Structure formats: C-alpha cells, structure tokens
Structure 1
C-alpha cells in the first residue's frame, strides 16, 4: 500500500491491499476501497462510498458528494457503489443517492472520460464508455456495452438500453431501446451494426434485430400496432430483447426515428 503523507483519511475508512493514494486525496467516513485501487492526486471519496477492486480514480474526481437537490437533507445516508476495474478520469463527479440506504451505482469495466457527471440515483451497468463531459441527470438508467459521445446529456429518469451508441453533442429526454444509434435531440438513426458485430452477435441475430427495428421505426405503424404485429411471430432472443424494452412502462416515452422527425 502506498499512501501520500498529504492524504486525509478518516479513521473509519476501510482500505484494501495494494491501494495507491496520491497527494491531497480525501477519503471520508465509512468509505470502503477494494484491493488494487489507484486514487490520483486530489481525488475525493465522500462518506458512504464503496469501491470494488482495481478501480482507477483520476485527479480531482469527486465520488459521493451530496446530490444537487434544493433543500436536500445532508443527514440522509444515501451512498455510491462502484464495481471493479473502472477508469474514472479527471474531474468525474458521481453524486450519492437521495434516499436512506440507497445508492447511485456504477458497475464494472466502465471508462468515464474527463468531466463525466452522474446525478443522484443513476444506475449504470458494465462495459460502457463515456467521452468527455457526458452528463446524466438523476435516476438515469443505462445498461451495458454503450458508447456515449462527448457532451451528450440525458434528462432525469431516462432509460438507455444495452449496446446503444450515441453521437456527441446529443440530448435525450426520451428512452433509447437496445442496439440503436442515437443522435441530435431524441432521435434514433438506425442500428449499431458495427458495435453488434464487434460484440460477437452472429449474422442471424443482427438480421433479426434490423427487422425488429424496421417493424417499429420504418413500417409506418404506431408503436402499439407494431408491437402487436411483432407478437405474431417468433424472434431470436436478441431481437426479443428489443421488443421487451418497448413493452416496459416508460416514464418518458421513446425516441423517434430521425428521418420521420425531419419529414414532419
């Protein structure tokens, strides 16, 4: 273990083996840090934050600060839980939950570039990459294997499913179903075919996903009618997941196809 003498560490913090703590790092009460983590200069882990193993926290990152909610009671014991093998670059901020005993959650093997922000109560899965200054408002849910371009923003309670690719400088107040490429403001442009191929989806699975997308976004039918039609045939598990997401109750509604929006 390597701890710089300028670091400030609470007595109640639990630190695993082979952890590196850089200059001016702050580790507050009831923080748990797993084995093999690296905390660069001036990183802060606020009270109630839990890190798994082999995470790298960049300079100036602040994990577990109070949520940006007017009138928030700082005595509420919400926290942040982070899995294993994540990279959080400089000045990443992740705010803690607004509810006692609840957590803002980041899974494992994610790469968050400089300035990425998670608001309170976000839940983000595994193997996601977020470029600089991506902003997730409170309660955003993101699945696995997504790539989000720089300076993209997501409104509170938005859901982003697996294998979504988002163009930089985009904004979303509506849900994004699995496998789509998304751009602009609440638009989907097509299927993330390259990402699916690289992820090992076979040709038949990709074909079925494209057909599912066509049925919902290019058939000219409304969502309800398209889902009813989809229920009349068998689909691969991968394409079925596309329809399953659209069947789920949404607080926000779903993004629309870019060409249709421009035509309207």
Structure 2
C-alpha cells in the first residue's frame, strides 16, 4: 500500500512500487520509475526520465548533533534531482541538495545538504558526500569515496575507490578549530588513486595526479604526479593523459 499525497504532482507515465511514501508538494516529471519502500519528502522536485530504486530516501532534513562543528539546524530547501538521473537502492539524498542531469547515484550512497552536483557525474556505491560541498560535471567518484564537508571537486575529476578526505587539522580538539575548517579542493581534471588520503585544506591543481595509497600533506602542482607517505613529487603527468588531449 502506498501513501501518495493529494498535494503531490505526478507527471505522465510514473510507476510507483509498493509501500512508497510521496509527501506534500512533491513534483515528479514524466516517465519516472519509483521502486518499493521509497520515501520522497515534502517539496522534493524530481525531473523526468528518472529511476529511483528500492528503499531510497529523497529530501531528508538533516540532523544536528549537539557537538557538531559543521552542521546547523536550519530547515533546508527541497531536494532537486534533474532529468535523466539514476538513483540506486538504499541511498539517502538530503534536502538542500541539487543534482544535475543524467547523473548516476549508486546503491548506498549518501549526499548531504548544501551540496551541488553537476551533469553526467557518477557518485559510486557507498560514496559519502558531506555538507557544503560542490561536485562538478563529468566526474567519477568510485566505491567508498569519502568527501568531507567544505570540499570542492571541479569538472572531469576522477577519484578512485577508498579515497579519504579530511577537514579538521585539530582532530576535534581546541576552540581554534572552528575558525579553520576546510575540506579539499580538486581542480579540473585532477585525479586521485585508490586508497589515498588528502589532509585538510589541500589543493590538487588542474590535471594533478595523486598515486594510490599516498598521504597528501601539501598542495599538488598542476600536471604533476605525487606519490608516497607523505606524498612527494614523482614526475609529470604524461602528455597523452592530460585533459586537453582527451
């Protein structure tokens, strides 16, 4: 049995699975497939030609822990998902999130409030994108990537499985930390290999490349490869791999 609000607007050819909840003010475009046990929260805007798989939650309002340093308790605007997206099973996409056209958000991913994602980007299985982040277009964030709050990933970036980013150089201690929170910045064409760790505030410049397993403690220069723990310059990105030559 479904619970679909009479104040929701559903377009043509919308298929809704069993035990799904669609709340007041939700707008859904044409040719949308919604799975079983899905919850679409109040006011969420879902475009056309979208698939949302089982047990997914769209437009959830955030929670604020008493000790949270980067969250607030403001009511967020409705979630917006643009045309042509595929949303996997058991994903949670918060209110205050905007997702561009033809993106794929894979199973078990979590995308927080105050996040914008460009067009044709892949958010892989079990990826977590925290609040106050920007992810560009044509990016790939692969399985189990963690993007910390206050991070920016520009267009055409590749982030391999198991990459971890951080935003707190004080590791949760001292009042001073509240003035210095900063995630990572990956500029256009930047790439990060599997299992790498990027420390707070570090910048990977255009076409920079971080080798697998590295720990990045300094900014990465444009078109340079860094490797190791701590990461050190290893060489130049091959010409045939530069974004301009793709």
TM-score (norm 2): 0.72
1:262 to 206, 231, 245: 231
CA distance in 1, matches of 2:119, 2:76: 25
Correspondent of 2:136 among 135, 140, 143: 143
1:113 maps to: 106
Does the aligned pair in 2 maintain the 1:181–1:189 contact within 8 Å? Answer: no
Two-structure CA RMSD over aligned residues (Å) = 2.6
Residues 218-233 of structure 1: pairs in structure 2 closer than 5 A: 218=224
Alignment match, 1:15 = 10
Q: Which SS does the other structure have where 1:133 is aligned?
A: coil
* Runs (5+) with no aligned partner, structure 2: 67-71, 166-182, 210-219, 234-246
Matches of 2:207 and 2:159, distance apart in 1: 11
Matches within 5 A, 1:205-216: 216=222
Q: Helix, strand or coil for the counterpart of 2:192?
A: strand
Q: Deviations over 1:45-84 (max 9, x none)?
A: 000100010110010010001113237658x362101100
Match among 24, 30, 37 for residue 42 of structure 1: 37
Q: What is the distance in 1 between the residues matched to 2:43 and 2:205?
A: 40
Higher relative helix content: 1
Structure 2 vs 1, CA of residues 192 and 90 (structure 1 numbering), >3 Å: closer, same or farther? Answer: farther
Runs of 4+ in 1 over 6 A off after TM superposition: none
Give 1:257 deviation, angstroms. 3.6
Aligned with 2:163 (options 167, 170, 174): 170
Equivalent in the alignment of 2:80: 81
Greater Cα radius of gyration, structure 1 or 2: 1
**How far apart are the structure 1 equivalents of 2:40 and 2:47?**
13
* Shift, 1:189, TM fit: 11
Does 1:91 find its partner at 2:90?
yes
CA distance in 2, matches of 1:92, 1:66: 14
Q: Tell me the equivalent position of 1:197.
A: none
- Structure 2 Cα separation of the partners of residues 20 and 154 of structure 1: 33
Contact between 1:16 and 1:33, CA under 8 Å: does it hold in 2?
Answer: yes
How many residues were matched structurally? 195
Give 3-state SS (helix, strand or coil) of 2:93's partner.
strand
Over 3 Å counting, the alpha-carbon distance change for 1:111 and 1:215 in structure 2 is closer
Q: 2:63 maps to which residue? A: 68
